[in-house]
Amino acid sequence: MKSRVDTSLSPDDRIVPANIEAARQIVAAQRAAHFFLRRYRRNVQNPPQHFSREEFWKQMVVCMYTSVQRSGPNSYLSRFVREKPFPLSLEACETKTDLRTYAETILSSRSLRFGPKIAGQIEANLAWLRHGGWGTARDHFVLLTQVPVNSPADERIAAERRAARSIMGRSGGLAGFGPKQARNLWQYLGVTLYEIPLDSRICAWLNALPSPFQIKPERLYGSVPYYEATMSQIQALCRAAGVLPCEFDAAVFAAADTDEWPEDDDVF
Residue 229 pLDDT: 94
Cα–Cα distance between 1 and 85 in angstroms, integer?
A: 34
Record the pTM. 0.88
**pLDDT, tens digit, for every residue of 49-59?**
999 999 999 99
Residue 8 pLDDT: 40
SS3 168: strand
- Say yes or no to pLDDT of 16 above 80: no
Residue 37 pLDDT: 94
Residue 265 pLDDT: 47
Cα–Cα distance between 82 and 216 in angstroms, integer?
A: 33
- Say yes or no to pLDDT of 92 above 90: yes
Cα of 162 vs its chain's centroid, Å: 15
Cα–Cα distance between 54 and 115 in angstroms, integer?
A: 21
Contact 254, 33 (CB under 8 A): yes
- Say yes or no to pLDDT of 13 above 60: no
List of residues 6+ apart from 198 with CB closer than 8 A: 180, 183, 215, 220, 227, 230, 231, 234
Give domain limits for the chain: 17-255
Q: How confident is the model at residue 43 (pLDDT cuts 50, 70, 90)?
A: very high
Q: Which of 197, 224, 196, 226 is nearest to 214 (CA)?
A: 226
Q: Burial level of 129, CB count in 10 A (0-12/13-18/19+)?
A: buried
